[in-house]
Amino acid sequence: MDIALALEIEQVSRQKALEEEALRGESAVRQFYAGTTALITGGTGFIGKQLIEKLLRSCDVKRIYILMRSKKGKSMPERLQSQFNEPVYDNLRSQQPDFARKVIPVEGDISELGVGLNDEDRMKLAQEVNVIFHVAATTRFEEPLKKATFINVRGTREILELAKCCKDLRSFVHVSTAFSNATKSRINHNLEEKIYESPVPPEVMINLAKTVEECRLNAITADLIRDWPNTYCFTKAIAEDVVRTMGKDLPVVIVRPPIVICTLNEPTPGWVDMSSVIGPSGVLLTLMLGVMHVVLTSDISIPIVPVDYVNNAVIATASDTNVRYNKNEKEIKVYNISCSGSKIETSCMSDFLKNPNTLEYATPKAVWYCYGFGTGSDVVFWLSTWLLHYIPAYVADFVFNVTSMKRPEGIKSFVKLYEKIYKMSMLYGYFLRNQWNFVDDNTVAMLNQMSKTDRILFNFDVAKIDCSRFMAIWCIGLRKFILKDGLKNSEYGRKKQSWLKIANLCYHGLFFVTVIYFLYICCAMLMYVFR
């Protein structure tokens, strides 16, 4: 059996044994959700997909409404059916073949007033919904401020207005981001589990977005966001203030996940979808393929968390918030999901950069030798990008254009590919080179007060993750769900790396000789001219 497939099977067996034992115990979280009706915004996104799966598989909910709309020529039922055919629902489908009957799409748009609901749907949701998970957001760092405001700020206001109309609302979970207050002035400082002062009053920002022309708003965006790195973090910070002001008399909680990546355990190890390729998973993927060799990062600790751990925390906070609200504890709590001092993410990435060719990582689809290093210097990164990325890309494109050689699958132009990689590196460079200390006292306290059964069924104890094993599962997930290499021929992939290593040495040797010869010719010409 292929060693990559064997590791996946072993991880599944471990988790299954734990869950089977835990299911014999009492679960306060499962009791809270039994028979409830939930509304999820952002249910078609990466976090939302796994949240739906977990609620249906583990929580015995009565019904889940998903706010969605027709898109790209597909009706809502067609989009939902297409989503349910994805691998994340395979285990659920085998256990509950008719699970889809519990999920009902509701036509709406989080960027619109009233979230785009018609009167009939609005009344139905107000009568039936017990728990709201507000996950929807635009996460594009370069999103124009007008659109980011309508989705992230006004959308939060509108969904809270709906929450106020619900007859039996037991919990409202607002999924924010750990980087909502990761400003330049707070670098190397603590980010507390509290709602910080909004950079701009929410209603002022919404009115600006409504009344100012987009071109003018884009022109003043840099001055408006000032201390924030992008419109995403800026508008998520304002959205938290919307929750603070509008959620005072509601069972509301804010959950701040950091960088969210593949699953560790549930529903299957390493699950990731294409939407996650823009970000750290994309960086790792290009390293695995031998396409990327230099990473814009410093030796810092920035938490990256598996999506199943994020959703376990989201599900648990809803239950905990309901308990506190019923005790008349109406303070809006904030939960930072971080690593409690663990350097999971630094260990993971450095493990790959130091030893990329272990059997678990080696995919037979690699196009070049896998090696790489990290640097926090803009100058070193720029020079290394030209030497290790752009120049080889121009050479490769020239060779493929003048010969009949077949290009690697999915790559039409190496130069354009590296332009995308460079852009992605610069967008994430702010977060990968700067340090913030994410305080997670509330999260740890909630975890510690959960029963043993709930800590297994809804585990979000990131500090206990085995970094090297997690790294292997992350790579296996990218191979299985993105590269689709079937987790086969890992041994061939390793041997291929040996051959590509020789080719890489030959290329760099030839390149070095060519540069020396070019410099020699230039010097000779200069000497001849000035002789």
Q: What would the DSSP string read from start to end of 71-88?
A: BTTB-HHHHHHHHHTSGG
- CB < 8 Å & 24+ apart, contacts of 70-75: 70/107
What's the pLDDT score for residue 360?
Answer: 62
Encode the chain (531 residues) as per-residue pLDDT tens digits.
777 787 788 788 877 777 776 667 688 999 999 999 999 999 999 999 999 999 999 898 999 999 998 777 788 888 889 999 999 999 999 989 999 999 999 999 999 999 999 999 999 999 999 999 999 999 888 899 999 999 999 999 999 999 999 999 999 999 999 999 999 999 999 999 999 999 999 999 999 999 999 999 999 999 999 999 999 999 999 999 999 999 988 999 999 999 899 999 999 999 999 888 877 888 888 888 888 888 888 877 778 899 999 999 999 999 999 999 999 988 899 999 976 544 455 455 555 555 655 556 688 888 888 888 888 888 999 998 988 898 888 888 888 888 877 777 667 888 888 888 888 888 888 888 888 999 999 999 999 999 999 999 999 998 888 888 888 899 899 999 998 888 888 888 888 888 988 988 998 888 888 888 888 788 888 887 776
What's the pLDDT score for residue 67?
Answer: 95
What's the CA gap between 439 and 420, in Å, rounded? 34
Altogether, the residues listed in the chain come to a count of 531
- Helix spans in 23-165 (H): 28-33, 46-58, 76-84, 90-95, 119-128, 145-148, 155-165
Whether 360 contacts 3, CB under 8 Å: yes
What's the CA gap between 295 and 292, in Å, rounded? 8
Q: Which residues contact 373 (CB under 8 A, 6 or more apart)?
A: 293, 294, 295, 353, 384
What's the pLDDT score for residue 341?
Answer: 46
What residue has token string 């690697």?
A: 408
Whether 208 contacts 358, CB under 8 Å: no
What's the pLDDT score for residue 357?
Answer: 54
What's the CA gap between 224 and 186, in Å, rounded? 18
Tokens matching residue 257: 């996940």
Residue 35 is given by DSSP the state T
Whether 22 contacts 453, CB under 8 Å: yes
Alpha-carbon dihedral sign for residues 70, 120, 109, 106? negative
Whether 4 contacts 487, CB under 8 Å: yes
Write out the E strands in 251-345. Answer: 252-256, 259-261, 294-296, 304-306, 333-336
Backbone angles phi, psi at 402, to 5 degrees: -100, -5
What's the pLDDT score for residue 339?
Answer: 61
What's the CA gap between 125 and 106, in Å, rounded? 9
Q: Quick count: other Cβ atoms within 10 Å of Cβ 473?
A: 25
The answer, yes or no, to whether the previous bond of 77 is cis (omega within 30 of 0) is no
Alpha-carbon dihedral sign for residues 196, 197, 202, 208? negative
Q: How many CA atoms lie within 13 A of 422 on its CB side?
A: 17
Q: Quick count: other Cβ atoms within 10 Å of Cβ 72?
A: 6
Residue 14: strand, helix, or coil: helix
What's the CA gap between 232 and 242, in Å, rounded? 15
What's the pLDDT score for residue 531?
Answer: 67
Q: Quick count: other Cβ atoms within 10 Å of Cβ 351?
A: 17
What's the CA gap between 195 and 238, in Å, rounded? 10
